[in-house]
Amino acid sequence: MPVVREFTLPDLGEGLTGAEVVRWMVEVGEVIAVDQPVVEVETAKAVVEVPCPYGGVVTARFGEVGEEVPVGAPLVTVAVAPSGPGSDSGAGPFEGAAPAANERPLVGYGVMEGGKGARRARIRVGEAAPAAPAAPAAPAASAAVQVVAPAVVPVISPLVRRMARDHGLDLARISGSGPDGLIMRADVQRAVAQTAAPVAAAADEEVVPLRGLRRTIAEKLTRSHQEIPAATCWVDADATELMDVRAQLNRSTGPKVSVLALLARICTAGLTRFPELNSSVEKDGSVIRRHSAVHLGFAAQSERGLVVPVIRDAHLLNTEQLGAELARLTEAARTGRLTPAELTGGTFTLNNYGVFGVDGSTPILNHPEAAMLGVGRITAKPWVREGELAVRQVTQLSFTFDHRVCDGGTAGGFLRFVADCVEQPGMLLRQL
């Protein structure tokens, strides 16, 4: 007889306690293969497809679209056909045995990468299963039922689905302008605009649910503000020579060097001199943990909101390697392909808010990190140099730090080192 296996939501990443159901990928009564994705969920870090380690017939699903499922709670139950001698004796053959062909340990989760690879074909009960290991039979109660899958909505991007869901739109009623009727982001935006006027007329206020990434950001920033006694210091720096060095580097063949890559290299050099800033305070406030490796986070704007990708072991990378990682992670953030591992574990954050055209900021620390360097726009300003007034490329640097890990002298020393490297990039040669 088939054995019913319960598959629960696994731990999808560091510190995540649950995930929101974005889309069910299987129906009750459907035959699935081992490791076939059964549900698409959104965590605070990424949108992921969750594969089921059991092959068989789906007997139940748990959680509606838009509902948050805690880690460890049931997702689906699957009727698994036992194999081998004594398979009709219930669950006995599974006790202490290695996983059979229709079940195996779950080892990973794939983040959606729009269009890369085809998903496994779904098989309705009553249809012929693909040739390979024998397909498990459906329970007698459901064998006579033809499970009719809903019409396929031509949309690939989970961001488009999320946008439609947040605005209460039915994707099946939206005409796609992409190839073969594919629904694009612009199509959903048009539909939102068409429905905006009646909503505005019906009420004076818009109620926006605080959930998903936005809720996680709110919770993390609130916790940081409540728990960390943060202080900020800042200084203006003449970045003219830094920009000249960048221009010289980019005149040669090879990858182009970004300002952010140069600033990242300056940060790793500064943390070598001031290692107490590459730390965090334990939850009970009794211990400061100084990290031996610099995992450098940087603020990046994505369609899902503000995210902080992390460059692992940034202290081991040169400027060109840092630039390559910055470019890769920025593109992944833009396209929504960052994995949970790429969004966790940072020990220090670089925040280039100058891209928004502003000079200064006092950012909230990225909990539980102890420090963050902020960089304003680099723009032409009057500057006194060698006793004379000149027009120079000037930027404002701000440094926010957890006052529990150090005093103002250490914070000021780090910020002054960064400013000196911006003004005299040759100082970095001393760190090689």
Q: What are phi and psi of 200, to 5 degrees?
A: -65, -35
CB 136 within 8 A of CB 31: yes
Given the residues 225, 315, 367, 403, the one annotated as active site: 403
Q: Which of 380, 390, 222, 368 is nearest to 289 (CA)?
A: 368
- Strands of 288-386, DSSP E: 288-290, 296-298, 300-302, 305-307, 310-311, 348-351, 371-375, 379-385
The enclosing H or E element of 198 equals helix 185-202
> Angle at the Cα of 238 (from 235 to 242), degrees rounded to 5?
120
Instruction: Please report the sign of the dihedral spanned by the C-alpha atoms of residue 314, residue 317, residue 319, residue 321.
Output: negative
Collapsing DSSP states into helix, strand and coil, what is residue 422?
A: helix
Collapsing DSSP states into helix, strand and coil, what is residue 14?
A: coil
CA-to-CA distance for 62 and 57, rounded, in angstroms?
15
Say whether 403 is catalytic.
Answer: yes
Report the catalytic residues: 403
